[in-house]
Chain A
Amino acid sequence: MSAIAPLANLRIWRHRAARAPWLGSTLAALAAFVITIANGQIQGVAGLLAAALSFSALTVLVALGQMLVISTGPGNADLSIPSTIALSSAVSMLVMNGSDAMVLPGLLAATGVGAAVGLSNFGLIRLLRIPPIIATLANSLMVMSVAISFGRGLKIKPPPIFIELVTLRIGGIPLLAMLALVVSLLVWLVVERTAFGRSLCALGQNARAAEFSGVRTVRTSLLAYVICAGLAGLTGALIAGFAGGNSLDQGDEYLLLTIAVVVIGGTSVSGGRPCVPGIWGAALFMFLLVAMLNAAGASAGLRMLLTGAIIISVIALAGAGSDRS
């Protein structure tokens, strides 16, 4: 079996390379990296790489969940991510309360809060038959209210050991990036190798056909939403540790960022075709793009303008092809 596995893997990789939905974003990230370094106003290659890996790790963790949700079919996206992050970061700081011993319970609580949000998202979609985008939007408003009442004026510093862990670098590689890599591998295995993953793809490609062929569509979709919000919850705690405390707007950028990263990474927006490696390429690309424009001395306005133009160009060049349903 051990002899066959690499062979099978090779075949899969060759097959993937032929389609290679992740290739575009990875090449774009590389180009941005080279240009930034060539501009030379950055604190050297190692520093830039470590910063890129740290920030991308947070993006990747949230985007992996968003990818699962988007893959459940057309019209699926989780818009409640910013609220989930706002709430979970507040809860994690409350639970940890600055004490080293409470780091693990804090992380678990943040993940649990996230999973609960995911459960309520799915409940609204399923019970009230609301389109997912609207259901998660409406739910995000309600979750945000809870987060505001929980988190306003909360000034709890993360425990010292937590700060140390989220900023730790081992051999120049941030611990956060390793965590994100492990989670990515897990998600990749789940998507490619488990019944859930296959069900997810079947559901996203054709919900009716999946239903008829015995896929447990409800459970699959439920899991996708819960995992997505759970990952967002965990990331909320990590962001709070990274930023030295929680604040209500910590998750704001992750709404559009995760959707952009998932789609630029080659995952099909119409569902059924997740692409885990592309997430890394796209997350690095989005960070390096900003770094590149910063290094070139672009003003905030110009930076946003160019970011938008480049996102559209990358998508248009990569040619999402038959992705639109």
Chain B
Amino acid sequence: MSTLFALEGRSAGAALRAMLPLLALGGLLAAVFYRQPLAMSYFGLNLLLNLAIPVAFATMAQVVILAVGDLDLSTGTFVSLVATIGATLLPTEPLLGVVALAVLTGVYALAGALVEWRKLPSIVVTLGLSFIWLGCAVLLLPVPGGKAPQWLVAAMNVKTPLAPLPIWVALATAFMGYLLITRSSFGTRIRGLGGHAAALARAGHSLVLLRAQAYALAGFFGVIAGLLLVGQATSADANIASRYTLVSIAAAILGGCEFSGGRVSPAGAVAGALTMTLAASFLTFLNVPPDFQIGVQGAILVLVLGLRAGIDLLEGKP
């Protein structure tokens, strides 16, 4: 009887924990609607959540890296570089642009292979990568400018039925992440690499190849994030997404991913990305002075994580 209770308590706690990203998002949305009822419309929601689309993909990139037990400090600069390619090469020489993006993804994969092969700390390798990406972006686009291809701009302004584009994209991203990382055998291997690499090696998998694949997938998500971003912004700059690195880490952790590797939640991460973006606009609604806006963003992060710790404590986890 008592074991049953403990089990029930734990599953309730786990469910609550899993729901926390969504609850935070819901709470924030409710607060925005309360302050500004006009936001509760097709147009209002589109405006509020638009910026979250590229952030969601950047967060998925970070989730893949977190899944293999690493940390990517180059997400922001990579997305910026993709955006500059999108605003310079892609419209003028589409073929060259696509090749460049493929090469970048390849470099990401190589970095992953290097991390595994030489047993290097991912933090430092991605730190080095971030310099490389930024350097390339500055070489391509020394001053802000460029022009995104017309089809990308048009795609980002599509009027989707029922709900605005950001909501559909968020749902699709969450579902895709779920299929790819949580359900597929590939995703299981990736998470296994973060959770217990030795077991995978015993089972005959090449860890170098696996980590390279994971990094390539992260690069792929980063490419999508950069293209969507430049489609929205219509022009680019070498630092356009520099804050994405920290935002993507925060969103992924907010969404229930863990640093220890192997434990990630793609759907939660998308909710985390929406929450982080919404937190910024919410503060404008509240007339929080700009000086304190980033501070309140930090406070929201602390609050949600504090709640998570509270749930753990009630469950009696040490």
Query: Which candidate, B18-26, B182-190, B300-308, is the interface stretch facing chain A?
Result: B300-308
CA of A233 to CA of B98, assembled, Å = 46
Q: Is the CB of B119 within 8 A of A320?
A: yes
Interface-located stretch among B42-50, B165-173, B288-296: B288-296
Which of A130, A269, A300, A301 makes the CB contact (< 8 A) with B124? A269
Q: Are A269 and B123 in contact (CB under 8 A)?
A: yes
> Which of A68-118 touch B at CB < 8 Å?
75, 77, 79
Q: Indicate if the CB atoms of B298 and A309 lie closer than 8 Å.
A: no
Given contacts A256-B127, A308-B128, A312-B114, contact A137 B250 (CB under 8 A): yes
With contact pairs A139-B298, A305-B136 given, residues A134 and B120 touching in the complex (Cβ less than 8 Å)? no
State whether the Cβ of A53 lies closer than 8 Å to any Cβ in chain B: no
Interface of A is mostly: helix
Does A311 contact B127, Cβ atoms closer than 8 Å? yes
Measured CA separation A149–B138 after assembly (Å): 32
Contact indicator A141/B121 (Cβ below 8 Å):
no
**Is B130 interfacial (CB 8 A cutoff)?**
yes
Residues 262-305 (chain A) with a chain B CB within 8 angstroms = 263-264, 269-270, 299-305
Whether A323 lies near B121 (C-beta < 8 A) is: yes
Interface residues of chain B: helix, strand, loop or mixed (majority): helix
Whole-angstrom CA separation of A135 from B128 in the bound complex: 24
Complex alpha-carbon distance, A141 and B302, angstroms: 11
Across the interface, do B135 and A138 meet the contact criterion of CB distance under 8 Å? no
* Pair B253/A316 contact, Cβ less than 8 Å: no
Tell me which residues across on chain A come within 8 A of B119, comparing CB atoms.
Answer: 319-324
Q: Which of B199-250 contact A (CB under 8 A)?
A: 246, 249-250
A138: chain B residues at CB < 8 Å are 250, 298-299, 301-302, 305
Residues of B with C-beta under 8 A to A321: 119
A152 to B312, CA, bound (A): 40
B111: nearest residue on chain A (CB-CB)? A312
Would A320 and B139 be within 8 Å (CB), given that A134-B253, A139-B298, A305-B132 are in contact? no
- Which residues of A (133-152) have their CB < 8 Å from a CB of B? 133-135, 137-146, 148-149, 152
Bound-complex Cα distance A143 to B296 (A): 10
Chain B residue at minimal CB-CB distance from A264:
B124
Chain A residue at smallest Cβ distance from B131: A308
Query: Is there an interface contact between B73 and A134, defined as CB atoms closer than 8 Å?
Result: no
State the CA gap A145–B132 with chains docked (Å).
30
A301 and B309 contact, CB distance less than 8 A: no
Check B124 against A315 for contact (C-beta < 8 Å). Answer: yes
- On A, residues with C-beta under 8 Å from B are 75, 77, 79, 124, 127-131, 133-135, 137-146, 148-149, 152, 256, 259-260, 263-264, 269-270, 299-309, 311-312, 315-316, 319-324
25 A-B pairs (CB sep. < 8 Å): A128-B305, A130-B305, A131-B253, A131-B259, A134-B250, A137-B249, A137-B250, A140-B298, A144-B295, A145-B294, A145-B295, A149-B292, A259-B124, A259-B127, A302-B135, A307-B131, A308-B128, A308-B129, A308-B133, A309-B128, A312-B132, A315-B128, A320-B118, A320-B120, A323-B121
| Beyond A128-B302, A149-B292, A269-B121, 14 extra complex contacts between A and B, CB < 8 Å | A75-B260, A79-B246, A128-B305, A130-B302, A134-B249, A139-B302, A146-B295, A263-B121, A301-B135, A312-B114, A312-B125, A312-B128, A315-B120, A323-B120
